[in-house]
Amino acid sequence: MEVQRRIIDVSDTRVVLELPASFVNRRVEVIALVVDDDAEAQAARPLRRPSLLIAGKGRTLGDIVGPIVDPADWTAVS
């Protein structure tokens, strides 16, 4: 798969892309995403914390990996 990435300034509702010759007679997918100028500021935001009203009130009951039901109880009725 060949990929072409471009970041451009949009001043109209139309964008013209010039693609390489290897894209001719092929199906291509074009995805338009907005690139925020403050993306670095958003990445630097602190992680969200749970409300102090519920923080620390959860409990883990039993083995979180193994099944709750005894494997002997998984008998199939035919």
Dump pLDDT digits (tens) for 19-52: 889 999 999 998 988 887 666 666 677 788 888 8
Element (H, E) at 39: helix 39-43
Indicate whether 14 belongs to any domain.
yes
Indicate whether 66 belongs to any domain.
no
Task: Report yes or no on whether pTM surpasses 0.75.
Answer: no
How many degrees, rounded to 5, is the angle at CA 17 between CA 13 and CA 6? Answer: 95
pLDDT at residue 40 in the model: 64
Mean pLDDT of the chain: 82
* Contact present, 19 and 3 (Cβ < 8 Å): no
pLDDT at residue 77 in the model: 63
> Which residues lie closer than 8 Å to 30 by C-beta, 6 or more apart?
17
Domain of residue 52, residue span = 1-61
**In the chain, % of residues over pLDDT 90:** 10
What is the count of structural domains for the chain?
1
